[in-house]
């Protein structure tokens, strides 16, 4: 299947290796794989790629939501490369809730923990 992150690549060659344990090399790729995990309902992946300082409980992430994710657009990125320790990804995610289409525009901060990128926090625009 095509990857839920809408990269245009196959899931097997895009976000799946990250979901299976491979370290995402950049903050943007981690962001994409997290979006895919939301689409696929992979709460464990969301939990382990969330900073231990800010993450919600796994249980709360596993609660089902009535949201249907419709698409992801990466607006821009700052740092977050293979040699960086911090990164910022600005994105828009479209979703439908209660049959109403909405958009989430967020500037997300990513840091490395134990060498791996994790999501720290986001500011909604």
Residues that bind Zn ion (CB under 5 A): 3, 5, 7, 14-15, 32
10/54 with CB nearer Zn ion: 10
Helices (H), the chain: 16-19, 27-40, 43-48, 58-62
Least distance CB 58 / Zn ion (angstroms)? 22
8/100 with CB nearer Zn ion: 8
Least distance CB 7 / Zn ion (angstroms)? 5
Distances, alpha carbon 100 to alpha carbons 66, 68, 71, in Å? 11, 10, 14
Place of tokens 């090399």: 25
17/52 with CB nearer Zn ion: 17
Least distance CB 42 / Zn ion (angstroms)? 12
Long-range CB contact pairs, 71-74, < 8 A, 24+: 71/6, 72/5, 72/6, 72/32, 72/35, 74/28, 74/31, 74/32
Asked if residues 105 and 95 have their Cβ atoms less than 8 Å apart, the reply is: no
Structure tokens given for 1: 């299947």
5/43 with CB nearer Zn ion: 5
Least distance CB 2 / Zn ion (angstroms)? 9
């Amino acid at each position: 299947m095509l990857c839920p992150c809408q990269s245009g690549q196959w899931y097997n060659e895009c976000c799946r290796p990250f979901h299976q344990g491979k370290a995402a090399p950049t903050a943007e790729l981690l962001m994409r794989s997290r979006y895919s995990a939301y689409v696929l309902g992979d709460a464990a992946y969301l939990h382990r790629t969330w900073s231990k300082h800010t993450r919600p409980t796994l249980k709360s992430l596993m609660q089902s939501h009535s949201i249907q994710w419709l698409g992801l657009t990466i607006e821009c990125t700052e740092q977050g490369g293979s040699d960086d320790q911090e990164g910022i990804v600005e994105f828009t995610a479209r979703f439908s809730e209660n049959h109403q289409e909405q958009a989430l525009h967020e500037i997300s901060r990513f840091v490395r923990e134990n060498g791996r990128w994790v999501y720290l926090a986001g500011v909604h625009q």
